[in-house]
Structure 1
């Protein structure tokens, strides 16, 4: 892949991707992070792809204007945890502390950015919450799972494999707690029904209750969780 920019105010980063299978230049804007990717055949020069992007500049900028801006997680920003806004503030000591309205992160005096430390903290918190929810629903279902893993997935919030392994996006810790629990119930239900049949959705409802609100929140607001860069 090669990185270029579409000139203007502001300049738009472009990622050029070559593919032996491509027959023409194609343009894609990620609905998750707004990344603009141009895929071009192996023998097409970069300048043709950049000319193509300039021809589509109006469409690209219109599309990006509708996309939420990314937020770099740093001291002073507001970060949702359990769906509640928390101000990221500098603190002393060694531990990251979560309060009702703020997240206190030590280390500001060293000049280090807090993003990576906050990410590690959130991943640990997400694992605790998702493991507890998965344990609860698996016990109610009467079917054990084999293991839990966390990833920063963009195409799905969770999955369940045929051998009972559960995978979740750690960014669920940013969502309201009822949404996190719904995803856990959804994936645990797959331990009994490896499909999305009426029987599966009946199992989700049996475990979680009325899931319509949580499911709609993910559909409407889920992409917002990917705007935070750590």
Structure 2
């Protein structure tokens, strides 16, 4: 499938018994288009749906092309604040924050890995603390909190009460993190997205509208950052 003068876009046709309607998403790292096809939908209908949304797909791909890169002199967000990655090869310590900079020591070949390791470690400390704080405040206590490397969603909650958050959430500002955590904790009471679920979310956080707007605008880029 060609959407520009660049390389053709690979399309993954994903048939689903659970899906209720046709849906599109871009797999960020691979830059592939994933088309979810519900039961009873024909191939012709799916293709027409993709063609109809040609503009949306093109715009999303343009945004992904501008995703942050974890390399020297680039700027990334940490807890919503911009930090410039500064390579300091003569120093020791891996990666650390220093004023408005993220310092990275060692060989230049390991900058990306060290930035990623720092963000994952920082995310584990900050996000787990924020989940614990909200859990104590609301009485909604997960059985476990895991920080994972996901590039298609920000978090999830299992039927056993285990909450998963993407380490990439650490790049979002506090109000967005507050909303995402409230969202997953609300699933401990309502394993769906019905009216009672959203009522629970709103009772925990006032940031739903603002956070969702931020995620629509910035989220795809952060999921692609690496």
TM-score normalised over the length of structure 2: 0.72
Deviations along 1:92-149, one digit per CA (max 9) or x if unpaired, are 1214211341101111xx3423111111110111111211111112112223211111
Contact 1:133 1:185 in 2 (8 A): no
**Secondary structure, aligned partner of 2:113:** helix
Within the candidate set 12, 28, 31, 2:7 is matched to: 12
Within the candidate set 171, 178, 183, 1:181 is matched to: 178
Q: How many residues align?
A: 194
Q: Distance in 2 between matches of 1:38 and 1:132?
A: 34
State the 1:13 CA deviation.
Answer: 6.3
Aligned to 1:214: 211
Aligned to 1:190: 187
Cα root mean square deviation, aligned:
3.2
Aligned to 1:137: 134
User: How do 1:36-75 residues align onto structure 2 when only pairs under 5 Å count?
Assistant: 36=32, 63=58, 66-69=62-65, 70-75=67-72
Q: Distance in 2 between matches of 1:193 and 1:68?
A: 33
Contact 1:182 1:214 in 2 (8 A): yes
Aligned to 1:104: 103
Q: Distance in 2 between matches of 1:226 and 1:35?
A: 12
State the 1:206 CA deviation.
Answer: 2.0
1:201 matched to 2:192? The reply is no
Greater Cα radius of gyration, structure 1 or 2: 1
Compared CA separation, residues 90 and 154, structure 1 to 2 (3 A): closer
Unaligned runs of 5+ in 1: 1-5, 20-27, 40-55
Q: Distance in 2 between matches of 1:184 and 1:38?
A: 26
**Secondary structure, aligned partner of 1:166:** strand
**Secondary structure, aligned partner of 1:30:** strand
